[in-house]
Structure 1
Amino acid sequence: MNFAQPQELDDYLREHPETQMLELLIPDMNGLLRCKRIQRREFADFFAGAFSVPRTIPFLGIRGDMYGGQDQAVIGGDPDQTLRPVAGTLAPIPWLASPTAQVLTGFADNDGSFCWTDPRAPLLRVLEHFGADGLAPVVATELEFYLLADGDGVRPQPLMGRVPGTGLRQSGIQYCMPDDLLDCDAFLEDVRLACELHSVPLTAIHSEFSPGQWEINTHHQQDALLACDHALLLRRLVKGIARRHGLAATFMAKPFAELAGSGLHIHASVYDGKGVNVFAHREPAEPPQMTSTLLGGIGGLANTVNEAMAIFAPNPNSYRRFKAGAYAPAGPTWGYDHREVALRVPVSSEQNRRIEHRIAGADANPYLVLAAVLAGIHHGMRSGADPGEPVTREADLSQSAVSFPTRLDGALELFRAGKVIPGYLGERYAQAYAVQRQGESDLYNGEVPDLDYEWYLRAL
């Protein structure tokens, strides 16, 4: 990945001369895209590298708060940091009525590289470890989300399919229901068209187990940073197009207590310099023979999962996914062709042999999730980590007790004490991340929710 040059802007404006505004999409630690809109007269300066924004933007909390404890040598006085456009991401915004385009951006150092404060920087560090060993990961993402019905109540409701010929709404499990595709055809078609505009390689979309829940997949990428760009853009496209259709979309990990949570699944394989998948066995079989390299990668993920949970589940709400019967992994289990495990080896050809990481929530930062996943794989391959015995295909894990951290504070303790993940991400970034997430946890838990009044006010 590199920063765009002025020629890319010139080419774009020749094709889209009507464009008057440009939205600069700025990824932060949360995985949110902060946004600044500039006028056409400022486009050239921005693409020439003469545009700055506050350095504190990546450190903002989910609501835009700044928390104490960050390094004042970095953010003191709220200094400026150069913002640069990411090559290949300039495209129209199809859900707006105004002639506006958007472009992904990154925080840049004077030498033209990504600054360590940019959420891509930890992933770049991890990729350097693979490159030093003559290896390269190939990855893909799967994102789950809910479409929400329009309403004016204080609580959201999932968009349920209509029962034809009635005013009833269809509840219950409707996995891959064709009627859902019919009901949402206009929305889905606009998502497809937007993905084409933004070069996001959409592969499949289907309704999930819960009413109103969907999964959207992208094609695998040899450029891990690009795969994460696609995930962030997908979240933005889905939310923007939903608004255009009078709906809303959410990638919250657990928006409804009684329904399944939404995950961010990562598919990862590793190739050598000759293009050979190092997870592949020379002798195809069914079930497949697991190579020591593949087992090491799985073992590394299992061994580092607890210290990475603050990345996979970054918000207090994230931990509501992890409970028995909630369609989310309960512990660092692994197995072949089993969708209840945390680390799944899907059915595939040997050349496409891969690990599916099923722990992270849809609310997590894709750059940091992928950095932690690849760090675990690399560490496990290097150390020959043992993943233990696999879960058998027929095993029922739906009521398994949760062994992951169940609260953000506990996960942050494990993250700060981590022996592997912080080193891969960079100690400076890891410390800044822990401070930000701890500030968010403290603020969240310091609030008095309505439930306190419902449970305690009259009784106590």
Structure 2
Amino acid sequence: MNADLLAEVQAFRQRYPEVRYVDLIALDIPGHFYGKRYPVEMLEKVAAGSALKLPQNCVLLGVQGGLFKIGDYCFHDGDPDVLRRLVPGTLKPVSWETQPMGQMLITSDGTAAPIEFEPREVLASVLKRLRDKGIYPVVAFELEFYLFDKKLNDGLPQFPRDQLSDDSDDQPNMHIERLSRFSPVLDDMVETAREQGVDTTVVTAEIGPGQFEINFSHLDDGLKAADWAALFCRSTRGVALKHGYRASFMAKPYLQHPGSGMHVHVSLYDEARNNLLTANDQQALRHAVAGCLDLLPHCMPIFAPNQNSYRRLGGTVNAATRASWGYEDRDACIRIPESDAKNLRIEYRLPGADANPYLVLAAILVGLEHGLEQRREPIAPLNEDRNSGIDFPLDVLDAVRAMHQHPQVCAGLGAEFVDVYCANKRQDHQAFLQDISTREYRWFL
């Protein structure tokens, strides 16, 4: 029995006596939550020591929830149940549903037999390996997203309308006024996130119509930082619907407007809280950058996980088509923000907002680890050469081929995970293509 967990559940029941059900949730490979809705009295039994099991293959779901044959999983393994555990500190109220609810994260990491391809377990394994080497990351996520009108127009998204909007898009992009015009829904998103324990900071109106960015505080707990990003996506979608909007973290919803990114700030410290990236006149920083650039082309299925993700790359505003780096340069995939020595860090800007935050952070950390061990100098920064860069795949299948069986990626993230993940992405993409678009009829009928 975990006395702290039991106390957490009992305190929640006392504070929210109207809550009858709690959603126990975890993120699958495509970045969607799956789980079960538990009566709150049963949750107390789980906290007291009763086994919590869910099917292992829930983690393997495709974007549309279907199962693919991947090795012996799904159709030849009997669909076994696997132990999960409650994540302490994540039992929170849900305010966007029609009735009082609660939710709590669950995971297989830390159990007797963790699922090797569960995203949270992949990140947990990377973090443990770094700790064993005396490396302690500090992490902060930034997420961009779009608001849309709740109703689609012939299946296409429409920009959100506030009290001043008419049939044209008159929103002041990048202006503080847009924050005011949409303050009821944005304020509710921030407050709801904080109810979930997510420490949000800066809110920015971005360039696209109805596009915003939210920043989170820096954390010395990488798992918790990724938890925050995942939970924010869930609560933000729910709050938007409550206010009559849709919120989406789709990477490129409009061809003519900027896509939405997931920016990740990472610094590395030793046990004495010395910034490892400052060593030898920042030579360690350059080594870390070189490692990230080396592995970036082989981690693209994580940073750009679906067909739409690649539309964002090379489009308008700060979305590169080659692996690059630079000081205070937002055109670079890896930006080095200006800071003092204590806070020296990288900002990894390539991933789309639709990526899985656990896997994104795991891949970034593996790149940093690889660079610190290889101790190679990176290519020239964009500040010195605007044409500097390393090619990376720009479509799903090329990306999967570049990732599958890559030795450093398999060693860093786990060979079983890489095999399962690449098979999932390949089959998801093939399923996506099994549709005849109106363009095909116009071109080929």
TM-score (norm 1): 0.90
In the other structure, the counterpart of 1:286 is none
- State the Cα distance separating 1:189 from its structure 2 match: 1.5
- State the Cα distance separating 1:96 from its structure 2 match: 1.7
Does residue 430 of the first structure (1) align with residue 418 of the second (2)? yes
In the other structure, the counterpart of 2:370 is 379
Q: Distance in 1 between matches of 2:338 and 2:109?
A: 41
- State the Cα distance separating 1:35 from its structure 2 match: 3.6
Give matches, 1:89-128, under 5 Å. Answer: 89-107=90-108, 111=112, 114-128=114-128
In the other structure, the counterpart of 2:334 is 343
Q: Distance in 1 between matches of 2:32 and 2:232?
A: 12
- State the Cα distance separating 1:437 from its structure 2 match: 0.8
- State the Cα distance separating 1:69 from its structure 2 match: 2.6
Q: Distance in 1 between matches of 2:332 and 2:288?
A: 15
Q: Distance in 2 between matches of 1:49 and 1:360?
A: 39
Tell me if the contact between 2:137 and 2:222 (Cα under 8 Å) persists in the aligned partners: yes
CA deviations over 1:21-55 (Å, ceiling 9, x no partner): 11111211111111421223422233234232211
Distance 1:3 1:370, change over 3 A: farther
CA deviations over 1:330-358 (Å, ceiling 9, x no partner): 21111100111111000111110100001
Give matches, 1:117-196, under 5 Å. Answer: 117-153=117-153, 154-159=155-160, 164=164, 167=166, 169-171=168-170, 174-175=173-174, 177-196=175-194
- State the Cα distance separating 1:14 from its structure 2 match: 1.3
Tell me if the contact between 1:160 and 1:169 (Cα under 8 Å) persists in the aligned partners: no
Q: Distance in 2 between matches of 1:109 and 1:346?
A: 35
Query: One-letter code of the match for 1:404?
Result: F
Tell me if the contact between 2:302 and 2:355 (Cα under 8 Å) persists in the aligned partners: yes
Q: Distance in 1 between matches of 2:301 and 2:50?
A: 34
| Range with greater deviation from structure 2 (258-267 or 384-393) | 384-393
In the other structure, the counterpart of 1:325 is 316
In the other structure, the counterpart of 1:410 is 398
CA deviations over 1:94-152 (Å, ceiling 9, x no partner): 112312101111126753x7432421122122223322221111111011110001224
Q: Distance in 1 between matches of 2:295 and 2:75?
A: 29
Distance 1:186 1:9, change over 3 A: same
Tell me if the contact between 1:122 and 1:424 (Cα under 8 Å) persists in the aligned partners: no
Does residue 391 of the first structure (1) align with residue 389 of the second (2)? no
| Range with greater deviation from structure 2 (72-81 or 33-42) | 72-81
Distance 1:390 1:131, change over 3 A: same
- State the Cα distance separating 1:161 from its structure 2 match: 6.2
Query: One-letter code of the match for 1:423?
Result: A
CA deviations over 1:273-321 (Å, ceiling 9, x no partner): 1101112368xxxxxxx61100010000000011100111111111111
Tell me if the contact between 1:3 and 1:87 (Cα under 8 Å) persists in the aligned partners: no
Q: Distance in 1 between matches of 2:76 and 2:139?
A: 33
Q: Distance in 1 between matches of 2:274 and 2:33?
A: 36
- State the Cα distance separating 1:224 from its structure 2 match: 0.3
3-state SS of paired residue (1:446): coil
Tell me if the contact between 1:190 and 1:241 (Cα under 8 Å) persists in the aligned partners: yes
- State the Cα distance separating 1:92 from its structure 2 match: 0.5
Give matches, 1:160-309, under 5 Å. Answer: 164=164, 167=166, 169-171=168-170, 174-175=173-174, 177-280=175-278, 291-309=282-300
Q: Distance in 2 between matches of 1:341 and 1:29?
A: 27
CA deviations over 1:137-182 (Å, ceiling 9, x no partner): 11110111100012242111122666x5x7364447711x121111
Query: One-letter code of the match for 1:245?
Result: H
Distance 1:384 1:335, change over 3 A: same
Query: One-letter code of the match for 1:174?
Result: N
Does residue 446 of the first structure (1) align with residue 431 of the second (2)? no
Distance 1:108 1:102, change over 3 A: same
Does residue 353 of the first structure (1) align with residue 317 of the second (2)? no
Q: Distance in 2 between matches of 1:348 and 1:160?
A: 39
Tell me if the contact between 1:331 and 1:403 (Cα under 8 Å) persists in the aligned partners: yes
Query: One-letter code of the match for 1:103?
Result: M
3-state SS of paired residue (1:335): strand
Distance 1:129 1:94, change over 3 A: same
Structure 1 stretches (4+) deviating beyond 6 angstroms?
none
3-state SS of paired residue (2:227): helix
3-state SS of paired residue (2:96): coil
Q: Distance in 2 between matches of 1:268 and 1:90?
A: 27
Q: Distance in 2 between matches of 1:4 and 1:419?
A: 41
Structural RMSD (CA): 2.3
Q: Distance in 2 between matches of 1:277 and 1:361?
A: 28
Query: One-letter code of the match for 2:263?
Result: H
Query: One-letter code of the match for 2:206?
Result: E
Query: One-letter code of the match for 1:137?
Result: P
Q: Distance in 1 between matches of 2:132 and 2:18?
A: 46
Q: Distance in 1 between matches of 2:287 and 2:329?
A: 19
Tell me if the contact between 1:281 and 1:350 (Cα under 8 Å) persists in the aligned partners: no
TM-score (norm 2): 0.93
In the other structure, the counterpart of 1:287 is none
- State the Cα distance separating 1:196 from its structure 2 match: 2.0
Query: One-letter code of the match for 1:140?
Result: A
Give matches, 1:64-83, under 5 Å. Answer: 64-72=65-73, 76-83=77-84
In the other structure, the counterpart of 1:43 is 43
Q: Distance in 2 between matches of 1:3 and 1:279?
A: 39
Q: Distance in 1 between matches of 2:314 and 2:370?
A: 28
Distance 1:116 1:3, change over 3 A: farther
Tell me if the contact between 2:379 and 2:389 (Cα under 8 Å) persists in the aligned partners: no
Q: Distance in 1 between matches of 2:121 and 2:25?
A: 17
Q: Distance in 1 between matches of 2:282 and 2:76?
A: 47
